Amino acid sequence: MSVPTAVAHFSKSVEQEMVNSGYIEEASLCKDVRDCWRAEDEPGTPAADRVHLRMPLRRRLLSRLDVGTFPPPGMYVRGWPSQLWEAILANIDAKTQLYSFERQKSYNTRAFSSLVGETFFLELTLYDRRGHGTVSASEFQSFIGTAIEQLHMRFDKER
Protein backbone atom coordinates (compact mmCIF):
# COMPACT_ATOMS: atom_id res chain seq x y z
CA MET A 1 0.00 0.00 0.00
CA SER A 2 1.35 3.43 -0.86
CA VAL A 3 1.85 6.02 1.85
CA PRO A 4 -0.83 8.42 0.49
CA THR A 5 -3.33 5.56 0.24
CA ALA A 6 -2.58 4.37 3.78
CA VAL A 7 -2.82 7.91 5.16
CA ALA A 8 -6.20 8.32 3.47
CA HIS A 9 -7.58 4.93 4.58
CA PHE A 10 -6.59 5.28 8.23
CA SER A 11 -7.17 9.01 8.73
CA LYS A 12 -9.11 10.54 11.62
CA SER A 13 -11.85 11.60 9.19
CA VAL A 14 -12.33 7.99 8.02
CA GLU A 15 -12.37 6.85 11.65
CA GLN A 16 -15.00 9.48 12.51
CA GLU A 17 -17.16 8.50 9.52
CA MET A 18 -17.02 4.88 10.67
CA VAL A 19 -18.14 5.91 14.16
CA ASN A 20 -20.96 8.01 12.66
CA SER A 21 -22.07 5.01 10.60
CA GLY A 22 -22.07 2.69 13.62
CA TYR A 23 -18.89 0.76 12.80
CA ILE A 24 -17.28 1.23 16.20
CA GLU A 25 -14.96 -1.81 16.09
CA GLU A 26 -13.73 -0.90 12.62
CA ALA A 27 -13.13 2.70 13.71
CA SER A 28 -11.10 1.42 16.65
CA LEU A 29 -8.99 -0.68 14.26
CA CYS A 30 -8.47 2.40 12.09
CA LYS A 31 -7.11 4.29 15.11
CA ASP A 32 -4.87 1.39 16.19
CA VAL A 33 -3.31 1.12 12.72
CA ARG A 34 -2.87 4.91 12.50
CA ASP A 35 -1.18 5.02 15.91
CA CYS A 36 1.12 2.15 15.00
CA TRP A 37 1.98 3.98 11.77
CA ARG A 38 2.69 7.13 13.80
CA ALA A 39 5.06 5.12 15.98
CA GLU A 40 7.04 4.24 12.87
CA ASP A 41 6.98 7.51 10.96
CA GLU A 42 6.43 10.51 13.19
CA PRO A 43 9.79 12.21 13.76
CA GLY A 44 10.76 13.33 17.23
CA THR A 45 8.55 10.81 19.04
CA PRO A 46 10.33 9.44 22.12
CA ALA A 47 10.97 5.68 22.01
CA ALA A 48 8.76 5.05 25.06
CA ASP A 49 5.85 6.80 23.32
CA ARG A 50 6.47 4.71 20.20
CA VAL A 51 6.14 1.55 22.31
CA HIS A 52 2.86 2.80 23.81
CA LEU A 53 1.48 3.72 20.37
CA ARG A 54 2.08 0.18 19.09
CA MET A 55 0.50 -1.68 22.03
CA PRO A 56 -3.22 -1.28 21.15
CA LEU A 57 -2.70 -2.98 17.78
CA ARG A 58 -0.67 -5.73 19.46
CA ARG A 59 -3.41 -6.30 22.06
CA ARG A 60 -6.03 -6.37 19.30
CA LEU A 61 -4.12 -9.02 17.35
CA LEU A 62 -3.49 -11.21 20.39
CA SER A 63 -7.09 -10.90 21.57
CA ARG A 64 -8.16 -12.63 18.35
CA LEU A 65 -6.09 -15.72 19.01
CA ASP A 66 -7.58 -18.57 20.98
CA VAL A 67 -4.71 -20.93 21.70
CA GLY A 68 -7.16 -23.49 23.09
CA THR A 69 -8.83 -24.20 19.76
CA PHE A 70 -8.05 -27.12 17.53
CA PRO A 71 -7.05 -27.13 14.79
CA PRO A 72 -4.82 -24.08 15.27
CA PRO A 73 -5.17 -21.18 12.84
CA GLY A 74 -4.16 -21.94 9.28
CA MET A 75 -4.10 -19.26 6.63
CA TYR A 76 -6.11 -16.83 8.77
CA VAL A 77 -6.18 -15.83 12.42
CA ARG A 78 -9.73 -14.61 13.00
CA GLY A 79 -9.91 -13.07 9.55
CA TRP A 80 -6.34 -11.72 9.46
CA PRO A 81 -3.96 -13.40 6.98
CA SER A 82 -1.63 -15.37 9.26
CA GLN A 83 1.56 -14.04 7.65
CA LEU A 84 0.41 -10.44 8.15
CA TRP A 85 -0.73 -11.21 11.71
CA GLU A 86 2.63 -12.80 12.59
CA ALA A 87 4.69 -10.11 10.86
CA ILE A 88 2.95 -7.24 12.66
CA LEU A 89 3.34 -8.94 16.04
CA ALA A 90 6.97 -9.82 15.39
CA ASN A 91 7.70 -6.25 14.32
CA ILE A 92 6.05 -4.73 17.39
CA ASP A 93 7.67 -7.20 19.79
CA ALA A 94 11.15 -6.86 18.28
CA LYS A 95 11.07 -3.07 18.45
CA THR A 96 9.76 -3.18 22.01
CA GLN A 97 12.59 -5.51 23.00
CA LEU A 98 15.14 -3.28 21.30
CA TYR A 99 13.91 -0.40 23.42
CA SER A 100 14.45 -2.39 26.61
CA PHE A 101 18.01 -3.35 25.55
CA GLU A 102 19.10 0.16 24.64
CA ARG A 103 20.76 1.93 27.56
CA GLN A 104 19.71 5.40 26.50
CA LYS A 105 16.15 4.21 25.75
CA SER A 106 16.34 5.44 22.19
CA TYR A 107 17.17 3.93 18.81
CA ASN A 108 16.67 4.80 15.18
CA THR A 109 13.50 2.93 14.22
CA ARG A 110 14.59 3.08 10.57
CA ALA A 111 17.76 1.14 11.39
CA PHE A 112 15.67 -1.88 12.29
CA SER A 113 14.32 -3.51 9.17
CA SER A 114 13.43 -6.81 7.63
CA LEU A 115 16.34 -6.60 5.18
CA VAL A 116 18.37 -9.27 6.98
CA GLY A 117 15.47 -11.71 6.95
CA GLU A 118 14.58 -10.91 3.36
CA THR A 119 18.20 -11.43 2.29
CA PHE A 120 18.36 -14.71 4.20
CA PHE A 121 15.26 -16.08 2.48
CA LEU A 122 16.41 -14.79 -0.91
CA GLU A 123 19.66 -16.72 -0.44
CA LEU A 124 17.66 -19.73 0.71
CA THR A 125 15.55 -19.53 -2.46
CA LEU A 126 18.64 -19.21 -4.65
CA TYR A 127 20.18 -22.27 -2.97
CA ASP A 128 17.14 -24.40 -3.85
CA ARG A 129 18.27 -26.91 -6.46
CA ARG A 130 14.80 -28.31 -7.12
CA GLY A 131 13.18 -25.00 -8.11
CA HIS A 132 10.48 -25.09 -5.41
CA GLY A 133 11.60 -21.90 -3.67
CA THR A 134 12.47 -23.80 -0.48
CA VAL A 135 14.98 -26.34 0.70
CA SER A 136 14.17 -29.66 2.28
CA ALA A 137 14.86 -30.33 5.94
CA SER A 138 17.91 -32.39 4.99
CA GLU A 139 19.24 -29.61 2.72
CA PHE A 140 18.71 -26.94 5.36
CA GLN A 141 21.71 -28.01 7.48
CA SER A 142 23.95 -27.78 4.44
CA PHE A 143 22.48 -24.41 3.53
CA ILE A 144 23.14 -22.98 7.00
CA GLY A 145 26.70 -24.32 6.92
CA THR A 146 27.34 -22.70 3.54
CA ALA A 147 25.78 -19.43 4.70
CA ILE A 148 28.04 -19.35 7.78
CA GLU A 149 31.14 -20.08 5.68
CA GLN A 150 30.26 -17.24 3.28
CA LEU A 151 29.65 -14.89 6.19
CA HIS A 152 33.06 -15.71 7.69
CA MET A 153 34.73 -15.11 4.32
CA ARG A 154 32.98 -11.76 3.86
CA PHE A 155 34.14 -10.53 7.27
CA ASP A 156 37.67 -11.92 7.04
CA LYS A 157 39.99 -8.89 6.92
CA GLU A 158 42.84 -11.02 5.54
CA ARG A 159 41.05 -12.42 2.49
Angle (deg, nearest 10), helices 24-41 and 12-20: 170
Q: Do 56 and 33 share a structural domain?
A: yes
Name the residue among 7, 14, 39, 41 with its Cα closest to residue 28: 14
More confident residue, 102 or 41: 41
Residues in a beta bridge with 77: 80
Residue at 46 is within a domain: yes
Residue 71 lies in a domain: yes
Shared domain for 97 and 119, answered yes or no, is no
CA 34 → CA 52, 75, 79, 80, 126, distances in Å? 13, 25, 20, 17, 37
pTM greater than the 0.75 cutoff: no
Residue 152 has pLDDT above 90, yes or no: no
Q: Is 135 a residue whose pLDDT tops 70?
A: no
Question: Could you tell me the residue range of the domain that residue 145 belongs to?
Answer: 115-155
Do residues 28 and 71 both lie within one domain? yes
Contact 106, 47 (CB under 8 A): yes
